[in-house]
Structure 1
Amino acid sequence: MKVLNIDAIVSTTERTIKFRGVVHPVVEMSVENFVVTTTDAERLEKEGVGIRSQVIGTADAILRSVPSLDKETLYGMSLNQLTVIYRFISGEDEFEDYENVVSDEEGGEKK
């Protein structure tokens, strides 16, 4: 008999976001989070909504992936910071526009 051990599949890359000295863990995207995020994105695209709705949708996706980050803190960030966080939680690791933004560990070398 063959057994597929799904419990053995764990993310090997822990991601965190550091903002104002506080480290916030990034939760690996669940199927439910993916469905909600893509449904929202498809709805926004179909409706042709404005930038306000797009920013709110991006913020909501970040809050689902970084549960320790509160809405007030997130809404206090710049749009540029919001965009970079969204790219990071989406799996992007290369940020050519910025030096020393992504490191292997806190205080570590740039990836």
Structure 2
Amino acid sequence: MAKILNLDKLVEEKRYLKLFGKEYLIEEMTVDNFLITNDEAEKLKDEKSIPKQVDATVRMLHRSIPSCPEEVLRKLPLAQLQVVTAFVRGDEEQEGVESKDDKSGK
């Protein structure tokens, strides 16, 4: 007898970002995205430039939400950028988080 771990059956709850009237799927953190994000965070750990930190945050968000153009993310007020970043990282205790009945197969 053999056993198989079928990861295709382990479906995570989908999460979306609704921004400027459009919904964007937030993709699960892949190993590659995790490594890239941690590498960039390591390079920025002693960075004093806030603009460079914000730019790196936008790039991280774009890797997690590739269907959302970077230009759209760059239009966010800084306070909203922080909320989006927390939500993408998995903190669902943010103001504005709603449940969505996803019957559309998205």
Mark the runs of 5 or more structure 2 residues left unpaired by the alignment. Answer: 102-106
Alignment-mate amino acid for residue 104 of structure 1? S
Aligned to 2:51: 52
How well do the aligned residues superpose, as a CA RMSD in angstroms?
1.5
Q: Within the alignment, does 1:18 sit opposite 2:18 as a pair?
A: yes
Residue 26 of structure 2 contacts residue 64 of structure 2 at CA under 8 Å; is this kept in 1? yes
CA pair 22-54 structure 1, distance change in 2 beyond 3 A: same
User: What is the deviation of 1:68?
Assistant: 1.4
Output the CA distance in 2 between the equivalents of 1:104 and 1:24. Answer: 15
Equivalent residue runs for 1:30-109 within 5 Å = 30-45=30-45, 47-95=46-94, 98=95, 101-105=96-100
What whole-Å deviation, never above 9, does each CA across 1:60-84 have from its counterpart, x for those lacking one?
0100111111111111111111111
5+ long unaligned stretches in structure 1: 107-111
- TM norm structure 1: 0.82
Taking only the aligned residue pairs, the percentage that are identical comes to 35
SS of the aligned residue for 1:67 comes to coil
Could you tell me how far apart the structure 1 residues matched to 2:37 and 2:67 are?
18
Alpha-carbon distance in structure 2 between the residues aligned to 1:4 and 1:73: 39
Whole-Å Cα distance in 2 between the matches of residues 89 and 20 of structure 1? Answer: 17
In 1, the alpha carbon distance for the partners of 2:3 and 2:51 equals 51
TM-score by length of 2: 0.86
- Give runs of ≥4 in structure 1 deviating > 3 Å: none
